[in-house]
Structure 1
Amino acid sequence: MLDKRYQVFISTSGAEMQPERMVLAQTLVGMGFFSWGLEQRTPLSTAFARRQIDDCDYVVVLLGSSYGEQSVSGVGYMHLEYIYAVTKQKPIIVFMHDEPAAREAVLHDDKPELRDKFQEFRKLLQNEVDQVFTYRSLRDLEMAVRFNLPQMLERYPVLGWVRPQNTQVLQDEIDQLKNKLEQLETESGKREVDPFLSLPKVSMHEFFSFEYRMHAYQDGNFKELKIQKKMTWAQLLSVLGSTFVHPTPEEFFSKRMNEYLNETGLQDARMDMPRAHAVARAQVNIRALHSIKMQMRQNEWIIQSGRDDRQRMLWQVTPKAQKLMESNLLDNDRVFQFKTQY
C-alpha cells in the first residue's frame, strides 16, 4: 500500500480557538495528515491563505463561539476562507461547538453585530455543508476528528501526496483503475438489464418506508431521534426530481433528501417531543437512500449521465420522469421544492 499523506487547511476565528486548534492539529498529525492554516490574519495574509487552500486536499472549519476578525469588507477572515474553499470545490468538514452560548464570555464577540454575524455564519454552515459535526469538550473534538476524517477520505477521495519514489507505482495504479472503470462501463452498457435492477417496478402511490435520524430541540436541549417515515414514490420523485433535471453529482441524492427532511422533520419530531421548536442534522439511512436511487432507476425515472471533471458520477431524470413532473399526476402528493445548486 502506498504511504499517502493529505494536506488539511484549518480555518478558525482566531486566538480564542487556540486550545481547539492545537487538539485538531495534533490529532491530524497523529493520523498522518499535514495541517496548515493561519491564526493571525491581515489583509496581506489573505493571498497566502488562498494559496494554501489551493494546494490543500481538505478544508476543516473549526467554529466555537466567535465570528472573529473581519476584513476591510466587514466579512470575517474565516468566512472568506470558507467562501474561497467553496469556489475551489474543496471537500469541507465542519466541527462546531454544540452549545456556543455555554462557553465563557471572554470567548464571545464583544459587539452585538459580530454576535449576529456569528449566528448567521453558523446557520450557513449547517445548511450548506454536508459534513457538520458538533463537540462539547476537547476530548469530544478529538474523537469526532478521529471518527469522521477517515470517512471524508472515502466519500471525497483525492490524490494526496506520496513519497517521490512511489509516484510511478501510484500512476500505474491509477492507469489500472481507469482501465478497469472503462471496462466495467462498457460491459454495463452492453447489458440490457443490470443485475441490481431486478427490482419490480412500483406505482406512483405505493408507499416506501425508511429510517432517518435528526436532532430535535426542546426547552434549550436537543435529542437525537430515530424516525420511521413513509412517503409515496410520487412524493419521492417530486422531492428528488427537480435536483436532477440537469446532470448532477450522485452525492446530491443524500443532500437533497436531508434538506427535505430538515425542512419537514419538525412534525415528525413532535410525535416524540411535543414542544420541539426546531430540528437539524437530518440524515437519511444510507441503505434506504440506495434503495430509493435503485428503484427510481428501475422505474426509468433517472439514468447515469457520465462523470464531471472531478470524476463524480452524474445522474439526470429521464424524459419519462420529466413528463410526470410536468403533469398533474404528482399534484396530490406535491411537496415543497428546494433549489439546489452545485
Structure 2
Amino acid sequence: MLDKRYQVFITTSGRDMQPERMIVSQTLIGMGFFSWGLEQRTPLSTAFARRQIDDCDYVLLLLGSQYGEQSVSGVSYMHLEYIYAVTKQKPVIVFLHEAPELREETLQESRADLKEKFYEFRNQLQKEVEQVVTYRTLRDLELSVRSYMPQMLERYPVVGWVRPQNIQVLQDEIDRLKTQLAQVKNTQERKEVDPFLTLPKVSIHDVFNFDYRVHAYQDGNFKEMNPIREMTWIEILKVLSVEFRESTLEDSFSKVLNEYLNRTGLADVQVSMPRAHAVARAQINIRALHTIKQQMRQNDWIAPVGRDDRQRMLWQITNKGLRLLEGSQMIGKHSSIF
C-alpha cells in the first residue's frame, strides 16, 4: 500500500478563528494530512497564498462570525482565497459556525457593512459549495473534520504526495491502470454500450433502500445515526423535481436529498431512538447518491443538458419525467375521490 499524504490549505478570517484553526490543523496532522495556510495576510502575502493553493490537494474554509481583514479592493483575503481556489477547481469543504450571532461580542464584526458582507459571503458558500458542515463547539468541529475529510478523499480523489521510495511503485500502478483502461476502452468501442445501461432496470414504483448518516438530538446531546430509508423511484423523482425543473448543477442532487432527509429523518431515527426530538446534518450514502443519478439518467427522468460558464454539468427533468409526475398526481386525485 502506498504511503500517501494530502495537502490541505486552511483559510479563515484571521486571529478570531485561531482556536478553530489550531484544532483543525492538529486533527488533520493526526489523520496524516499536511496542513497549510496563512494566519496574517497582507498584499505581499497574496501571491504566496496562491502558490500554496496551487500546490494543495484540498481547500478547507473555516467561517466563524467575521468577514476578515479586507484587501485594498474591499474583499476579504479569505474571500479572495476562496475565489482563487474555485477558479483552480480545487475541492473545497466549508465548516461554518452554526450560530455566528451567538458568539462572543469580541468575535463579532463591529461595523454594519462588514456584518452585511459576512452574511452575504456565508450565504454564497451555502449555495455554491456542496460540502458545507456546521459546528457548535471545538469538540464538535474536531469530530466533523474526522468524519468529513475521509469523504472528501472518496468523493474527490487526487494523486496526493508519495514518499520518494514509493515513486517506482506508483509508476508501476499507473502503467497497470493505463493498460487496464485501454482494454476497457477497446471493449466499450466494440460493444458500443452506454455505461449507464449496465444498471438493473427499475420501474417508477419499485422501492429503493438506502442508508444515510444524520445527527440525532436528544436531551441536549447528539448522536450520529445511520438509519435506512425506503422510497419508490416516483417519490425520489418528486423530491428532486422541486429543484430540477430548471437546469441545475449536478451537485444539487446531494443538496436536495440531504435537505429532504433533514426534514423527514426524525421518524427514521425514532425507530431506534424514540426520545429523539430533532435531526440535522443528514448525508446520503455516496454510492446510493451515484445510483440515484445513474437511474435518473438511464430511465430518462432527469438528464444532463449542458454546462455552465464554469464548465460544471447541468441537469434538468425531462419531458418523460414531467409526464410521470403529472400521471402520479392524477392517480392521487382519483384515489382521494374514493
Question: How many aligned positions are there?
Answer: 305
Structure 1 equivalent of residue 133 of structure 2: 133
Distance 1:229 1:101 in 2: 38
Q: CA deviation at 1:102?
A: 2.1
Distance 1:168 1:285 in 2: 35
Distance 2:224 2:129 in 1: 19
* Contact 1:92–1:131, Cα closer than 8 Å, also in 2: yes
Q: CA deviation at 1:63?
A: 1.2
Distance 1:98 1:237 in 2: 26
Gaps of 5+ in 2: 217-221, 269-278, 305-312, 330-338
Amino acid at match of 2:164: P
Distance 2:260 2:149 in 1: 29
Structure 2 equivalent of residue 87 of structure 1: 87
Q: CA deviation at 1:244?
A: 8.0
Residues 57-206 of structure 1: pairs in structure 2 closer than 5 A: 57-191=57-191, 197=198, 199-200=200-201, 202=203, 206=205
Deviates more, 1:38-47 or 1:133-142: 133-142
Distance 1:44 1:118 in 2: 24
Over aligned residue pairs, what C-alpha RMSD do you find?
Answer: 4.2
* Contact 2:9–2:56, Cα closer than 8 Å, also in 1: yes
Structure 2 equivalent of residue 256 of structure 1: 252
Q: CA deviation at 1:230?
A: 5.7
Instruction: Give per-residue Cα distances to partners, 1:59-87, cap 9 Å, x unaligned.
Output: 11011111111111111111110011001
Residues 1-342 of structure 1: pairs in structure 2 closer than 5 A: 1-191=1-191, 197=198, 199-200=200-201, 202=203, 206=205, 232=234, 235=238, 252=250, 255-261=251-257, 283-286=283-286, 288-299=288-299, 324=320
Amino acid at match of 1:18: Q
Identity %: 58
Structure 1 equivalent of residue 334 of structure 2: none
Gaps of 5+ in 1: 217-221, 273-278, 305-313, 335-342
Instruction: Give per-residue Cα distances to partners, 1:180-235, cap 9 Å, x unaligned.
Output: 223234334545587983633536xx47667777899xxxxx99998776663865
Amino acid at match of 1:112: A
Q: CA deviation at 1:37?
A: 0.9
DSSP 3-state at the match of 1:101: helix
* Contact 2:65–2:118, Cα closer than 8 Å, also in 1: yes
Distance 1:123 1:62 in 2: 14
Q: 1:103 to 1:193 in 2, by over 3 A?
A: closer
Q: 1:262 to 1:144 in 2, by over 3 A?
A: closer
Structure 2 equivalent of residue 275 of structure 1: none
